[in-house]
Amino acid sequence: MALRYLGEGFEIHGGGSDLIFPHHENEIAQAETASGTAFARYWLHHGMVTLGGMKMSKSIGNVIGVDEALARYGGRILRLLFLRAHYRSSLEFSWEVLEEVAASMERLDRFFLDHPETGGDPDQGVLERFRKTMDDDFGTPGGVSVIFDAVRDANRAEADGQDISGLVGAVRELVSVLGIDAAKDVGDDDLTSAVNEVAEEMGVPSSESLETTIDALLERRAAARSDRDFATSDAIRDRLGEAGILVEDTADGQRWLRG
């Protein structure tokens, strides 16, 4: 199957560390005997996801499905959860850990809401530190640390009146590289559907674009506040919160982020 869809001599083959012997060794022997060429150039054998200290397994029944976790937290938070652990290491899953990861993601989102424009090229020192840790056996935990260190440094530098455009630009670039930028969840079907339901309730046109629908709802909310219709304003904010969108009122107007 691998040879059929990936061709001879493809780059990366993944799989669990429990499959090194005999499964993967047999796979190499069969494929290279059949093709006469090298099979995969790199093998990434990952650790196990555990629950309560035990490997998740259908035979044991201690399995939490990806669909359930996605419905509760979305793809970005799940990706950040996995990126925080090295791929060779085991990862202990719990809803409490996901709450911690969600709080970290909210910190990133608030950082971008506070700094919507970079205004400069990404800081090359930050990018180089990221490359160094990723070149060390795909060290994603170190890569994640580089991002949050840059956020911390940017906040401190801003408090001292320094230009932080390069740090903001670097953080934006790196979260995109790791697939945890907000744009990666814009097409989330469950969230879009929930927000569209709010729009229908409020008599606001919905859209296939999550951002467009939310912007329309916030315009409706701003109009309600201007008319002192605080019941409608609060209802839109509360219903969006239930759908997974946090709305904040700031001196510069409304802003939103995934809750």
Q: What is the pLDDT of residues 109-168, one digit of tens each?
A: 889 888 877 667 999 999 999 999 999 999 999 999 999 999 999 999 999 999 999 999
Concatenating the DSSP letter of every residue in 114-154 gives: H-----SPPPHHHHHHHHHHHHTTS-HHHHHHHHHHHHHHH
Boundary-marking domain end, from 159, 182, 205: 182
Quick one: 66 and 40 in the same domain? no
Residues in CB range of 88: below 8 A, 6 or more apart: 17, 45, 46, 47, 137
Boundary-marking domain end, from 182, 207, 230: 182
Quick one: 129 and 78 in the same domain? yes
User: Which segments within the chain are labelled E, that is strand?
Assistant: 10-16, 40-46, 49-51, 54-55, 91-92, 245-250, 253-258
Quick one: 55 and 138 in the same domain? yes
Res. 243 pLDDT band, cuts 50 70 90: confident
Quick one: 97 and 12 in the same domain? no
Lowest mean pLDDT among 41-55, 89-103, 119-133, 240-254: 240-254
Residue 259 has pLDDT above 60, yes or no: no
Q: Other CB atoms closer than 10 Å to residue 231's CB: what's the count?
A: 9
Boundary-marking domain end, from 182, 201, 228: 182
Quick one: 56 and 141 in the same domain? yes
pLDDT higher for 73 or 140? 140
Quick one: 246 and 139 in the same domain? no
CATH number for the domain spanning 139: value is: 1.20.120.640
Quick one: 164 and 78 in the same domain? yes
Query: Which two tokens mark 43?
Result: 């093998």
* Amino acid symbol at 256: W
What CA–CA distances, in Å, run from 50 to 60, 123, 173, 190?
A: 12, 37, 32, 27
Report DSSP state, residue 79.
H
Sole residue written with tokens 């085991």: 90
Position 118 scores a pLDDT of 65
Residue 107 has pLDDT above 70, yes or no: yes
Quick one: 80 and 200 in the same domain? no
Quick one: 34 and 156 in the same domain? no
Task: Kindly state the greatest CA–CA separation across the chain.
Answer: 76
Residues in CB range of 211: below 8 A, 6 or more apart: 186
- Kindly provide the b/e burial profile for residues 39-63, where b requires at least 16 CB atoms within 10 angstroms of the residue's own CB: bbeeeeebbebbeeeeebeeeeeee
Domain range holding 140? 49-182
Quick one: 168 and 59 in the same domain? yes
What CA–CA distances, in Å, run from 232 to 145, 223, 250, 259?
A: 42, 10, 19, 20
Short-list 218, 222, 205, CA closest to 245: 218
**Distance from CA of residue 169 to its chain's centroid?**
18
- Judge if pTM exceeds 0.95: no
Quick one: 171 and 193 in the same domain? no
Quick one: 210 and 168 in the same domain? no
The number of domains in the chain is: 3
Position 186 scores a pLDDT of 44
Peptide bond into 22 cis (omega under 30): yes
pLDDT in tens, 20-63: 999 999 999 999 998 899 999 999 999 999 998 898 988 888 88
